[in-house]
Amino acid sequence: MSYEATRESVRQHPVPDWFHDAKLGIFVHWGLYSVPGWAPLTGELGKVIAGGGFARWFAENPYAEWYMNTMRIEGSPTRRHHIETYGPDFAYSDFIPMFNEATRDWDPGVLADLFRQVGARYVVLTTKHHDGFLLWPSEHPNPFHAGYHTQRDLVGELTEAVRERGMKMGLYYSGGIDWTFDDIVIRDFSDLMAAIPQSSNYIAYANNHWQELIARYRPSVMWNDIGYPAGANLPKLFAHYYNAVPDGVINDRFAQLRAPRNRIVRALLKAVLPLLMRLLLKRGGMPSSVHADFKTPEYTSYDHIVQTKWESTRGIGYSFGYNRNEGIENYLSVQELVHSFVDIVSKNGNLLLNVGPMADGTIPELQRERLAGLGQWLSINGDAIYGTRPWVKAESSTSEKLAVRFTQHGDDLYAIVLGKPNGNRVQVNGLQVQDGAVVYLLGHSSPLSWQRQDGALVVTLPDHLPESPAYTLRIAPVPHSR
């Protein structure tokens, strides 16, 4: 199908099977902010905003990739750290030679091997974050800062390594915020809208970058962030992308926002926006003015199956960019990570799990441990994840009140028990298993004995059940829901 530069045409694009099937992607936040690698340990996005509002969030931003903004907020922990560590005259751009030197010996195959071992099916790399620094030597360089890009083509090299290992490659680009074009210091949520550059020069700059990224690297995902200029022709950009990459996907963060000029309207909007953003965070979505293939809730999930394809994104800790302050107490445990992932998949979502490399491209050991634990679980239970679709319901529980999540693949139902049952029996509530059904535990070759009890499925488990964050029962044929 050839797409035309209209909203109606690009909205005909179907979400490709590969994205439905993939379930697990790895997000890579890597850039100049990886050199200082520092942010306060404020907490998770939704919890901080609910407790202290957006003003506290931006002043004490735990996202280390926001270092350039937070270091300019008077009295912020990041500003104090920057002055104490680098001095008051050390500019953010002074990190450029340090980053280029750190990446001189980087081997993209090491990262790609790790992501493949974890079981990721796609990778998304930050090509330009809000600081405007480019991870590729663009033919459209920054007009305000000479040499404001990497010496190596980090985008191209990682793209090649990822594809050589059979994974899809997506690209992130901050189309809504670029502090080199508009250096508004963001202190509250209302500042975000005002900070989106609206000039024709920036529209051309961002469009040229997207077109260049598409032409050079053919990304399987266009992952934009924080909106896009109101004057841009997005149907034209999207049609260009789909015609170049027919099975590509576009996220929901291209909302075309512009701060109103009228002071009264601005004041009203300033009062309403925080409430609107809290609602969006709770419901897990961003407004999209033209089109999106999938929604992108951040550090959150849903309590039900969502028909629209979605992708939950989060860091292993509080930050996306590398934060040297984060320790084991700030990271998800392997069990928490597996449970969150299973919950997301059961409700029609993918997990885009972020890693924050250090400046030299090395993944910190604590992050690697969590990835290894997830990969080990997937090596046994992957059949219950990859290629599956939601069942008629997502959730149930056992008689011991362990949570259960369901996925389906063909005529197989997977009941994933989140936690270890006591003893050698597990009762899954709300399943009407058909006569002659066969039940297996993934990781064991022999079928298990089972029986019905009060509208539940009771399964006798193997002796000496190994330790695992979750256990998967495969039931065929698919039973009825009660």
Average pLDDT, the chain: 94
pLDDT score, position 265 = 47
Render the burial of 364-396: b for 16+ CB within 10 Å, e for the rest: beebeebbebbbbbbebbbbbbbbbebbeebeb
Query: Do residues 364 and 415 share a domain?
Result: no
Select from 384, 409, 428 the last residue of a domain.
384
Query: Do residues 210 and 255 share a domain?
Result: yes
CB distance 411 to 476 below 8 Å = yes
pLDDT score, position 200 = 98
Query: Do residues 380 and 428 share a domain?
Result: no
Per DSSP, what are the bridge partners of residue 350?
311
Query: Do residues 212 and 70 share a domain?
Result: yes
Residue 283 predicted with pLDDT over 70: no
Query: Do residues 466 and 368 share a domain?
Result: no
At 363-375, the pLDDT tens digits run: 999 999 999 999 9
At 149-161, the pLDDT tens digits run: 999 999 999 999 9
Task: Evaluate whether residue 353 is within a structural domain.
Answer: yes
> How far is residue 301 from each of residues 238, 334, 339, 351, 378, measured CA to CA in Å?
27, 18, 12, 10, 20
Task: Evaluate whether residue 423 is within a structural domain.
Answer: yes
Query: Do residues 17 and 100 share a domain?
Result: yes
At 52-110, the pLDDT tens digits run: 888 999 999 999 999 999 999 999 999 999 999 999 999 999 999 999 999 999 999 99
Query: Do residues 470 and 342 share a domain?
Result: no
Query: Do residues 92 and 212 share a domain?
Result: yes
> How far is residue 473 from each of residues 9, 341, 381, 413, measured CA to CA in Å?
43, 17, 10, 8
Q: What number is the average pLDDT over the span 435-447?
A: 96
Query: Do residues 66 and 113 share a domain?
Result: yes
pLDDT band at 193 (very low <50, low <70, confident <90, very high): confident
pLDDT score, position 236 = 98
Specify the pTM: 0.94
Select from 362, 384, 406 the last residue of a domain.
384
Q: What share of the chain is helix, strand, coil (3-state, %, to 5)?
A: 35, 20, 45
As for how many domains the chain has, the answer is 2
At 376-393, the pLDDT tens digits run: 999 999 999 999 999 999
User: What's the CA gap between 248 and 56, in Å, rounded?
Assistant: 37
pLDDT score, position 482 = 57
Domain that holds residue 460: 395-481
User: What's the CA gap between 209 and 203, in Å, rounded?
Assistant: 10
Task: Evaluate whether residue 1 is within a structural domain.
Answer: no
Task: Evaluate whether residue 54 is within a structural domain.
Answer: yes
pLDDT score, position 263 = 57
CATH number at residue 321: 3.20.20.80
Q: What number is the average pLDDT over the span 442-456?
A: 94
Query: Do residues 71 and 214 share a domain?
Result: yes
Could you tell me which residue, 116 or 463, shows the higher pLDDT?
A: 116
Identify the weakest region by mean pLDDT among 185-194, 249-258, 275-284, 318-327: 275-284
At 241-276, the pLDDT tens digits run: 999 999 999 999 999 977 665 555 455 555 555 555
Task: Evaluate whether residue 2 is within a structural domain.
Answer: no
User: What's the CA gap between 391 and 274, in Å, rounded?
Assistant: 35
Per DSSP, what are the bridge partners of residue 457?
428, 452
**Sequential DSSP letters for 295-329:** B--BS---SS--SS-EEEEEESSS-SS--TT--GG
Question: Where do we find the tokens 């964050």?
Answer: 469
Q: What number is the average pLDDT over the span 28-40?
A: 98
Query: Do residues 421 and 289 share a domain?
Result: no
**Sequential DSSP letters for 76-104:** -HHHHHHHHHH-TT--GGGGHHHHHHHTT
Select from 323, 356, 384 the last residue of a domain.
384
Task: Evaluate whether residue 390 is within a structural domain.
Answer: no
Q: Does residue 393 come out as left (phi exceeding 0), alpha (psi in the -120 to 50 range) or beta?
A: beta
Query: Do residues 368 and 422 share a domain?
Result: no
CATH number at residue 473: 2.60.40.1180
Sign of the Cα torsion 29, 33, 35, 37 reads negative
User: What's the CA gap between 1 and 14, in Å, rounded?
Assistant: 11
pLDDT-above-70 percentage for the chain: 93
Task: Evaluate whether residue 32 is within a structural domain.
Answer: yes
Task: Evaluate whether residue 102 is within a structural domain.
Answer: yes
pLDDT band at 51 (very low <50, low <70, confident <90, very high): confident
Report helix, strand or coil for 384: helix
CB distance 417 to 381 below 8 Å = no
User: What's the CA gap between 116 and 114, in Å, rounded?
Assistant: 5
